[in-house]
Amino acid sequence: MARLAIVGGTGLSQYPELQRVDNAALDTPYGAPSAAALIGRLGGHEVVFLPRHGEGHTLPPHRINYRANLWCLQQLGVKKILAVNAVGGIHPAMGPGHLCIPDQIIDYTYGREHTFADGTAKTVQHIDFSYPYDPVARQILIRQLTALQMPYSDFGVYGCTQGPRLESAAEIRRLAADGCDLVGMTGMPEAALARELEIDYVSICMVVNWAAGIEAAPIDMADLMRTLENCTREVKRLIAAVAGALIV
């Protein structure tokens, strides 16, 4: 059976709802992944869970070994990745507590190992990245969000910044002018690496705060964490509802 992988971000570093089957700590040509992958069952369906930031959320976005993570998942037979990302809202309709299934991404990161084409392969791979997210998986999520009556957006341009600091208000104005609806720190190079490995990739973005400067008040980290906790509960409910449909 083709496996579904859940890549957990901020707020989702553990998944106690999974019935553990095994743990897989794999070596890769690119070093160690963020953590051992948990192979478990969710509603009778076998899935793989990998916490992007490591156990205990110790890895900042720019220090995550994205290549090792994706290589590990491929070796475990993963054919589809459901990524969970905590983001800030830029679009007026995408405030705290909102869920978004993004359809596009802009990469503002730098210095990250962003491709498997590192000079060791026989040929350079030029992937088509016109549409970064798998359209079939996106529609499955959108239909289920509608059925669950959760507030969501079925579009969104994700601006991926370097982190780990949050952005300045001027940087958010720049992202807005570029057409970004959301801002996060982990969407790239994860999405592109999945495409290089021919793994279908889709994201659930949890809006946990207004991006800098959208509101007059500064970002309240305590409010952010409360919203993150609430969003994570809703996302787990969504994942439980769609896991079977995503495993095909």
**Domain 3-246: top CATH class:** alpha beta
Return the closest-CA partner of residue 182 out of 79, 100, 97.
100
Percent of the chain at pLDDT above 90?
81
Mean local confidence (pLDDT), 40-48: 90
Provide the pLDDT for residue 1. Answer: 52
- For the segment 59-74, the average pLDDT, to the nearest whole number, is 96
Q: What confidence tens digit (pLDDT) does each residue in 216-237 have?
A: 888 999 999 999 999 999 999 9
Instruction: Please give the annotated binding residues, written as ranges.
Output: 10, 52-53, 185-186, 209-211
Q: Tell which residue, 216, 99, 205, 218, has the closest CA to residue 166.
A: 218
Helix (H) or strand (E) holding 42: strand 37-42
β-bridge partners, 99: 152, 206
Q: What is the DSSP letter of 130?
A: S
Q: Among 8-17, 47-56, 186-195, which is the least confidently predicted range?
A: 8-17
Two structure tokens written together for 197: 């490995």
Residue ranges for the known binding site for phosphate are 10, 52-53, 186
Model confidence at 110, in pLDDT bands (50, 70, 90)?
very high
Q: What integer best gives the mean pLDDT of the chain?
A: 94
| Range 177-183 average pLDDT | 98
Q: What is the pLDDT of residues 141-170, one digit of tens each?
A: 999 999 999 999 999 999 999 999 999 999
User: What residues form the annotated binding site for substrate?
Assistant: 185, 209-211
116-129 pLDDT per residue, tens: 988 776 567 889 99
